[in-house]
A = this chain, B = another copy of it.
Amino acid sequence: MEAGETMSIGDSGKVDLEFVNVTHSIIDAINPVLHTPEGAVVYGLDKRMDHTPVIGDPIDMERFREIGREGEGVLCYIEDCTNANKKGRTPSEKVAREHLRDVLYSIEDYDGGIVATTFSSHIARVKSLVEFADDIGRQPVLLGRSMEKYSGTAERLDFVDFPSDLGMFGHRKSVDRTFKRIMNEGKENYLPIVTGHQGEPRAMLTRMARGETPYELDDGDKVVFSARVIPEPTNEGQRYQAEKLLGMQGARVYDDIHVSGHLNQEGHYEMLDALQPQHIIPAHQDMSGYSSYVNLCESEGYKMGRDLHVTRNGNLIQLVD
């Protein structure tokens, strides 16, 4: 079942499931909508409101607005609140792409090693890295198990069109062989795109930082983090360690070249405006993560306990008699 399609659920013939196209850090993201006789139930999974994604179609706001107006309207909207405490609007992937282009073009003349890392599942970002590598005269190569897995799958399923000679290597032996070839032919000719953007101890970049791979980092080599540190102390500690190790080898770090895949406050405001739901259930966060979303809903006239339901997984809420 694809974005835009609808199928009947159950035997009654009265309930339909529809997938509406949305935009997120992964390709082919959808939000499911259950059409019932009492109205639509919209399950707001992870998404960004992106009108210029690098891969795939823009978010289908037109369809959300229709769902808000047609039939009984929206009975209930369950919404992912990951970024609901952040002000403003999450920028389009296009903005991250321009930021990334700016960084890579600015080091075009550097004649040593450049290494990039990002989320393996973020195919649009990987694609941008692959393109800009070519633009600055370097051969891109994807290294690390999950890097090979995600990009390989995306290519096989035709979600992305990589250069036919793009190397992807996951097994340690083939990765190390690739690194040896890079060292032999000159680091200045390659852009390894590797796993390890959060400083995970076993990921490729961290292994490079510890000197455990044949790739040797030299003074002035560039490491481009097209990712943001996930704000959790364990994670921040690991990433800090990885950057420290990179710094001890002389590497220069370009970090934070990223946009989030989740709606900020103004995206949530626009979703409410489009759907006009009768009931709202914030989801995917703890109480603290819901706070701004609850404020937003209340400023739009909803009321806790009446049509705004702050609850927990496992609870049952009856919306109609």
Contacts and interface: CB of A to CB of B under 8 A. Distances in A.
A269 interface: yes
B253 A87 contact: yes
A291 B287 contact: yes
Contacts of A286: 291, 294-295
Chain copies in the assembled complex: 4
A290 interface: yes
A192 interface: no
Interface stretch (A4-12, A94-102, A161-169, A171-179): A94-102
Interface in A78-112: 85, 87-89, 91-92, 94-95, 98-99, 102-103, 105-106
Contacts of A289: 291
A239 B252 CA distance: 29
Interface stretch (A116-124, A129-137, A139-147, A228-236): A228-236
Contacts of A85: 288
A260 interface: no
Interface of A: 49, 51-52, 85, 87-89, 91-92, 94-95, 98-99, 102-103, 105-106, 220, 232-241, 250, 252-257, 265-266, 269, 273, 286-292, 294-295, 298-299, 303-306, 310-312, 315, 317
Nearest to A314: B303
A99 B91 contact: yes
A237 B286 CA distance: 21
Nearest to A316: B305
B294 A304 contact: no
Contact of A255 (B88, B237, B238): B88
A307 to B, nearest CB: 12
A94 B105 contact: no
A269 B252 contact: yes
A51 B101 CA distance: 11
Nearest to A285: B291
A95 B102 contact: yes
Contact of A253 (B88, B253, B290): B88
Contact of A92 (B102, B287, B298, B312): B102
B89 A106 contact: yes
